[in-house]
Amino acid sequence: MIREADIQTTHIDGDRYHDRSIMQLETDHIWRKTWLLAALESDLRAPKSNVVFDIGHDSIIIARTADGFLSAYHNACTHRGTRLLAEGVGTAPLITCPYHAWCFNLDGSLRAAPDAKSFSGGLPPERLRLKPVKLESWKGFVFVNMDMGAATLSEFLGTLVDRVSPYNIADMALLEDQSVSVDCNWKAMIDNFSELYHVDHIHPQHKRFVDCPNATDELFENGHTGLYVPGFVTDSRYPVPDKPTDYQEMQLNTLGIDPSEFVGKVAEIPAAIIRAKREQSGKNGYDYSALSDEQLTTVFQFNLFPNIILSGSPEGLWMMRSRPHPDDPSKSLLDKWALQLNSDPLLGGQGDHKQTLHAASKKAAQENGRVLRDCFGYEAVLSGEKSMTETIDQDISLLARVQAGAQSSGFASAWLSNQEIRVAHFHDTLNMTYDAARNSEKE
Ligand code: FES
Ligand SMILES: [Fe+2]
């Protein structure tokens, strides 16, 4: 754990959002050296399934081999470098290069090359296997690390492993898979999801279901952070309403509680939710035994350095991932997976989505039993053609403006409040990374 008093960043310069030398430094010392959340394990269950994960100019193939192991390697043919597979989720028994048809096994080894006799140097297998990448799984997510000498994923995640452990994320099902391109640096997105200071102003609906002023921050080693926001309540900056808000009504109905019982008693709703979840645990499709009372009504958020946001509740989660544009530091992608724990028939559930969440559409389009990834530009969100939920749409509407201002000569550095301590911790970690990288480049 890191104490707030140990945070050193009180200002953040605008250059890091657009300077190309910083972008290159991040490529070499962050993206190519850090554990990165690359795929869902559920997309890699079947033998011969694969996921291609692109990050900057790098692209990684993760494949389930015929004997059931997961393998990860660079998506670059060892003949002349051609990218082998396009980004996405697929199935293939072998990987064949589209250029001269070199053929690779799913463990990355070279299987065959046409006219092999024409290589006077032969086809040495170790030299020509696809360049390997480290791989580890955690909580239903597959992580990769291009640095083969990196510490283990659990060493990197540290305390976060214990914090996330009570939540059954690994069994959550994918409801929606969206990617939006935004005209801002990847870090502006992470900054945005590292503070609640903006919530009252740009997410006015939040006052009807969470109490941001009573949220708690946690700062962890390696730049990770946690956030715990009291849920099933209204914002304590405002008077408690006489009757449950629309969100609270929905939450109570989900658990079979009549909202009219709470007219004049809105402050008693969280206790009633805890009682209901405890009484129904193991009978209504959900098992709450690993969670504390507080966790039953808390909205959590865990930010994994450098670019992952896991935000949710015991029944559902958003995985949000910010990825840099390969060449332009003022552009990035935001990927959002909406995941939900279906009620478990073995625990008396119907296998349905009983709890309320957070997907933008009632039912995303599917192909072969998997929701299709929907990719669009932020203009489509601004025009209302696409939505990533009201909250994320509101965030996206601001990000290009943040970038525009941070890139202007009128902005020198940010001035942070205590409510932005997680932003400071993120940039503190970046500053340490930048300093170490510059020192190592000098040597
Ligand atoms: S570049 Fe792949 S086979 Fe030639
Ligand atoms: Fe926001």
Q: What is the pLDDT of residues 319-352, one digit of tens each?
A: 999 999 999 999 999 999 999 998 899 998 887 7
pLDDT, one tens digit per residue, over 215-264 is 999 999 999 999 999 999 999 999 999 999 999 999 999 999 999 999 99
Whether residue 307 is contained in a domain is answered as yes
Q: Which of 163, 118, 405 is nearest to 301 (CA)?
A: 163
Report how far residue 106's alpha carbon sits from residue 71's, in angstroms, rounded to the nearest whole number: 7
Co-location of 60 and 117 in the same domain: yes
Ligand 1 center–CA 57 separation, angstroms: 18
Residues 217 and 79 in one domain: no
Say if 23 falls within a structural domain.
no
Nearest CA residue ID for atom 3, ligand 1 = 100
Contacts of 258 (CB under 8 A, 6+ apart): 252
* Statement to judge: residues 322 and 436 lie in one domain: yes
Among 73, 83, 100, the mutation site with the greatest number of ligand 1 atoms within 8 A of its Cβ is: 100
The predicted-structure confidence for 428-438, as pLDDT tens digits, reads as follows: 999 999 999 99
Neighbours of 345 (CB within 10 A): 11
Quote the domain boundaries for residue 413. Answer: 166-442
Report CA(279)–ligand 2 centroid distance (Å): 34
Ligand 1 mean position to 119 CA, how many Å?
Answer: 13
Per-residue confidence at 357, pLDDT binned at 50, 70, 90?
low
Among the bound ligands, name the one nearest to the CA of residue 81. Answer: 1
Among 79, 94, 103, the mutation site with the greatest number of ligand 1 atoms within 8 A of its Cβ is 79
Distance CA 5, CA 251 (A): 38
- Region 20-30 average pLDDT: 97
Q: Answer yes or no: is 380 within a domain.
A: yes
Instruction: Output the pLDDT for position 10.
Output: 65
Q: Ligand 2 centre and the CA of 201: distance in Å? A: 9
In a domain, 2, yes or no: no
Structural contact between residues 194 and 7, judged by C-beta atoms closer than 8 angstroms? no
* Structure token digits, residue 214: 């009573």
Ligand 1 centroid, distance to 123 Cα (angstroms): 13
Ligand 2 center from residue 197 Cα (angstroms): 9
How far is ligand 1, taken at its centre, from the CA of residue 91, in Å? 20
What is the enclosing helix (H) or strand (E) of 192?
helix 186-192
Q: In 65-202, at which residue ranges do the beta strands (DSSP E only) sit?
A: 70-74, 88-91, 95-96, 103-104, 110-112, 134-138, 141-145, 173-182
Among 75, 83, 99, 111, name the best residue to mutate to test ligand 1's pocket (greatest count of ligand atoms within 8 A of Cβ).
Answer: 99
Q: How confident is the model at residue 440 (pLDDT cuts 50, 70, 90)?
A: confident
Residues 145 and 203 grouped into a single domain = no
Q: Are residues 232 and 341 in the same domain?
A: yes
Distance of CA 291 to the CA centre of its chain: 22
Output the pLDDT for position 3.
77
Q: Determine the average pLDDT of the residues in 374-402.
A: 96
User: Which protein residue's CA is at the shortest distance from atom 1 of ligand 1?
Assistant: 80
Ligand nearest to the CA of 97: 1
User: If DSSP codes are grouped into helix, strand and coil, which group holds residue 369?
Assistant: coil
Torsions phi, psi for 104 (to 5 deg): -115, 145
Q: Residue 82 CA: which ligand 1 atom is closest?
A: 1
- As a whole number, the mean pLDDT across the chain is 94
Q: How far is the CA of 127 from the centre of ligand 1 (A)?
A: 14
Q: Are residues 100 and 224 in the same domain?
A: no
Atom from ligand 1 closest to the CA of residue 81: 1
Residue 6's pLDDT band (boundaries 50, 70, 90)? confident
What is the atom index within ligand 1 of the atom nearest the CA of 80?
A: 1
Please list every protein residue whose CB sits less than 6 Å from any atom of ligand 1: 77, 79-80, 82, 97, 99-100, 102
Mutate to test the pocket of ligand 1, among 77, 95, 104 (most ligand atoms within 8 A of CB): 77
Chain-centre distance for alpha carbon 424: 20
pLDDT tier at 69, thresholds 50, 70, 90:
very high
Question: Which residue from 82, 85, 110 has its CB within 8 A of the most atoms of ligand 1, so it is best to mutate?
Answer: 82
Residue 175, classified by CB atoms within 10 Å of its CB into exposed (0-12), middle (13-18) or buried (19+), is buried
Number of domains in the chain: 2
Evaluate whether residue 435 is within a structural domain: yes
pLDDT at 356 over 60: no
Q: What is the CATH number of the domain that holds 78?
A: 2.102.10.10
Quickly tell me which residue has 């990825």 as its tokens. 323
- Average pLDDT on 122-129 reads 98
Q: Are residues 116 and 184 in the same domain?
A: no
Cα(390) to ligand 2 centroid in Å equals 10
At 103-125, the pLDDT tens digits run 999 999 999 999 999 999 999 99
Choosing from 86, 120, 149, the residue where a domain stops is: 149
Say whether both 185 and 332 belong to one domain: yes
The 10s digit of each residue's pLDDT in 183-213 is 999 999 999 999 999 999 999 999 999 999 9
Tell whether 353 is covered by a domain.
Answer: yes
Confidence of residue 309 (pLDDT cuts 50, 70, 90): very high
Residue 322 lies in a domain: yes
Task: Kindly state whether residues 277 and 204 are assigned to the same domain.
Answer: yes
For residues 213 and 280, membership in a common domain is answered with: yes
Domain harbouring 290, CATH code? 3.90.380
Ligand nearest to the CA of 311: 2
Q: What is the pLDDT, as a whole number, of residue 382?
A: 96
pLDDT score of 363: 78
Residue 381 covered by a domain: yes
Rg of the chain over CA atoms, in angstroms? 23
Give the percent of the chain with pLDDT over 70: 97
Whether 319 and 336 have beta carbons less than 8 Å apart is answered as yes
Domain end, chosen from 149, 180, 208, is at 149
Same structural domain, 402 and 312: yes
Task: Looking at the CA of 391, name the nearest ligand.
Answer: 2
Ligand 2 center to 195 CA (angstroms): 8
pLDDT, average across residues 273-286: 94
Asked whether residue 212 falls in the same domain as residue 137, the answer is no
**What pTM was estimated for this model as a whole?**
0.96
Q: Which of 79, 114, 149 is the last residue of a domain?
A: 149
